[in-house]
A and B are shown apart, each in its own frame.
Chain A
Amino acid sequence: MAHIEICNVKKKFKKTIAIDDISLDIKDNEFFVLFGPAGAGKTTTLNIIAGIAFPDQGYVKIDGKIVNLLEPAKRNVSMVFENYALYPHLTVYDNIASPMRSPTFKKDEAYIKQEIERVTAILGISKLLDRLPKQLSNGQKQRVALGRCLVRKPNVFLMDEPLAHLDAKLRHFMRAELKEMQSNFNTTTIYVTHDYMEALSLGDRIGILNNGKIEQIGVGDDIFYRPANEFIAKMMGEPEINILEIELVQEAAKFGLRIFNMDKVFELPRDVEAAFRRKVPNDVDMGIRANDIEISISKKSDEYIHGTVYSIEPIGNKSVLIIAVNDIQIRTIVPNDFSAELDSDIYMKINYKNAIYFDRNTKAFIFRHENEDLSEKVI
């Protein structure tokens, strides 16, 4: 367990900037998730912390000490690689025993045996100890890689997309198992993923990485309900959040919004309206999730906006209904027995309470209406 810091790290590969001035402060014993799309620089960041890649600028600190010049072997970090990196010529037992047999961390065989029994029992792989990696399924290899990582008592666990190559069923199962094991880790962990569900589920805090830059750091609720920009909002949640252009209009000293070039002015929640009045934004985008849009076949009230059915896609216990309004596609959710002809008329009502407002030019978060229950933060 250790306090890990990255300070103003930059790294280039030939001409491409992989990491562009990143700083992270990861608390002792924290489970920190580094989240971002492919190519964002997550693995590079992990490698720099581990010592197998060197920053061009900036430094890495473990417990306050700068470790830039310290070899990977001496940093005492334990890593799970995306492709497991199991030693092909060693049995599962020897693979997991390997870190405990190295000159740096050598332990006696009795201790090794005991630790292996403990860890493999937790991971459910006690019966596989004599097998070679090529005789294991992906899920089993992943657990052996985890076992090899967990069997040490390092400063920090580094996990690079450990669930990436598992089928959906196994991924859900392993994610729940990892979460259950978390409390027993007692070690700072940095976990890299591009799957937003893993990030929200496992992270005490989440750091969003995009194009080598940190775009936001916060707890799951912060990231989901108060994303720092439109890009982050779009990465979280299925189906993807709808980002719509809106127009702010002033009617008798109060702000309202117009959408889809309709004449109707919709009412804003009070605190949002007040915030806009305090500081008038230039151009505003509104992010609204599929769940916050109500669908009706008839125009039940003035609040309902007319559109046409663009497509209906069943996904199991519900269906995604895409509505076209003035050539803009909006994703909404309907029950799985909902049916309608394509291009027929349909009406939607937006629940502005849950909308998130962004600056159209900078794409940055401006404001959202705050519910009391959203404020419960996870430590």
Chain B
Amino acid sequence: MKAQYSRGVLGVSRSLLLAIYSLFALFPLIWMIIISFKSDAEMFTTTFIFHPTLSNYYSVLVGTDYLKRFLDNLIVSVGAVIVSVIVGVPGAYALARYNFKGRESLAFTILSFKFAPEILVILPLFMIYQKLHLYDTYLGLIWVYQLITLPLLIWVLRGYFEDISLEIEQAAQLEGYGWFHVFQKILLPLIMPGLVSAGLLAFIFAWNSFTFSLLLSGFKIQTVTVASLRYVASDTVHYGYMAVAAAIATLPEIILALLIQKHLVRGLSFGAVKG
């Protein structure tokens, strides 16, 4: 009886704590969405009770080139992830299977990209990009985004490949499957959870990237992160417009995160292959 009672109290206090934390975490998001529906007039005078209006949305989406920026961001992020997958999968396989000199140094170097603060490398990169005419190009951004997306993919997939025992590949070879078949029929299905979750996480990081696109792209290409800055004008901050820009920018991420949340933890932890 006593155990049950204390278990009940524990359960309720646990739920209470979770509720408080959720409120704390979600509040900025909720507030931002509320603001996006508020007109300038009511911005500073009301809190939760106001007259919602779509004028902000109209101004931003129709009135500016926001949608083009959204598309730019999409192209660059998706492009970066695709390149990372194409490069990362074979790279992870090599790191997992082949024993070559300097293997661990190479692996650590790739991981270290994620450690380096973007601000640190941005200035030299700026100059290099100017020289290479990569400034303000899709290719330029996709390439530099590899610093964000590639390490994650390689690190996760290497773990997956290491967990697939070499004998499974050898068994497939002996059964008469060529290299491509082995990859397609055996390896791919087994690394899929890792590939999907790491890929989606990489997309989210690329989508959010600010520093690189700020300094390495100019007028032709701008990501929404940078584009939203525009609303911070020198005299006022147009909160309504900014809220709209931010809200729409986060939309893809929220949808994706909700979709993959089940797979995120499981997919990112190794040891997925047993037996």
Contacts and interface: CB of A to CB of B under 8 A. Distances in A.
Determine direct contact between A and B, CB below 8 Å: yes
A81 B186 CA distance: 17
A102 interface: yes
A77 B173 CA distance: 10
A102 B176 contact: yes
Contact of B177 (A47, A85, A88, A103): A103
Contacts of A134: 274-275
Nearest to A77: B174
Interface residues of B, number: 19
Nearest to B188: A89
B172 A103 contact: no
Contact of B178 (A73, A105, A133, A152): A73
B171 interface: yes
A16 to B, nearest CB: 14
B271 to A, nearest CB: 12
A260 interface: no
B190 A88 contact: yes
A322 interface: no
Interface in A95-132: 98-99, 102-105, 132
Interface string B160-179: 00000101101111111110
B186 A85 contact: no
Contacts of B168: 85-88
Contacts, number: 75
Interface string B259-275: 00000000000000111
Contacts of B124: none
A133 B275 contact: yes
A79 interface: yes
Nearest to A89: B189
A86 B273 CA distance: 11
B175 A83 contact: no
Interface string A128-167: 0000111010000100000010001000000000000000
B181 interface: yes
A50 B190 CA distance: 25
A85 B170 contact: yes
A87 B168 CA distance: 7
A73 B176 contact: yes
Contacts of A47: 170
A86 B167 CA distance: 9
Interface of B: 165, 167-168, 170-178, 181, 186, 189-190, 273-275
22 contacts: A50-B170, A51-B173, A73-B174, A73-B177, A77-B174, A79-B171, A85-B165, A85-B171, A86-B168, A87-B168, A88-B273, A99-B175, A99-B176, A102-B175, A102-B176, A104-B177, A105-B175, A133-B275, A134-B274, A136-B275, A141-B275, A148-B171
